[in-house]
Amino acid sequence: MEKSGKYFSKESLYYIDETASAGSNFICGNYCVIGKNAVIGNDCVLGHNVVIHEGTRIGNSVRIDDNTVIGKQPLRSKKSIFKSAKDYFPAVIGDKCLIGAHVVVYAGSEIASHVLIADSAAVREDVIIGEYTIIGRSCTVENFTTIGKNCKLETNSYITAYSLLEDFCFIAPCVVTSNDNFMARSKDRFEHFKGITVRKGGRIGAGAVNTSGLRDWGRCNGCCRRCCN
């Protein structure tokens, strides 16, 4: 049976577009799809059902687990605050990254080397993540966010759009952040969007809630939440 792309191995079945490339010692599970002009480095391992979208750049010695999607284009509802129809540059994954199962990394994101993104996490478009940072299980990092080097975001933390976390920050489990004090009920909100800013070495304790407009966090224990609301 003729196919338009490349199929390899009698033991596993996967598709690589004819314009894509993969380096030496590439290991791929069943039913993976690698799109147009994607580039995968040497010594990479893909689990089952992984999708690598068009143009994505993946460095050397990267592991991507089952059912993960890299380079997904964003969806936009008619009421979305993000009105731009721009074309997002392909996702970039640095060397020696570990990306768990059921992760979605959008186009327009840039992940530095040695980053770990745990199972079921989501990294949106226009996001930059520095090297050696850990994005914990089921974390969400929203649009226009920059996360520095050697940060740790623990399970179920939520980083709202337009946020900045400098190097060596720690975000404990179930931290919630917001960039909208108007709860989407007023046009005034468009002039006041501001995500969280956590300065170098800042630490936020478990379950803390940050509403829009609180800036320059250093340390919060999450004990009474008075500093967070």
Contacts of 61 (CB under 8 A, 6+ apart): 41, 42, 43, 44, 95, 96
Contacts of 70 (CB under 8 A, 6+ apart): 50, 51, 52, 53, 56, 58, 64, 91, 93, 99, 105
Residue type, 154: E
Residue 85 gets the label, from left (phi > 0), alpha (psi -120 to 50) or beta, of alpha
Note the pTM of the prediction, 2 decimals: 0.85
Beta bridge partners of 98: 63, 116
Spatial separation of the C-alpha atoms in residues 152 and 30, rounded to whole Å = 32
Domains and CATH numbers, the chain: 27-74+90-120 (2.160.10.10), 142-229 (2.160.10)
Q: What is the DSSP string of 48-95?
A: TT-EE-TT-EE-SS-EE-TT-EEEEPPP--TT-S----PPPPPPEE-T
Over its length of 229 residues, how does the chain's per-residue pLDDT go in tens digits? Answer: 344 455 555 556 889 999 999 999 999 999 999 999 999 999 999 999 999 999 999 999 999 999 999 999 998 766 666 656 678 999 999 999 999 999 999 999 999 999 999 999 999 999 999 999 999 999 999 999 999 999 999 999 999 999 999 999 999 999 999 887 666 666 666 666 678 899 999 999 999 988 765 455 555 555 444 444 3
**Tokens encoding 206:** 């478990």
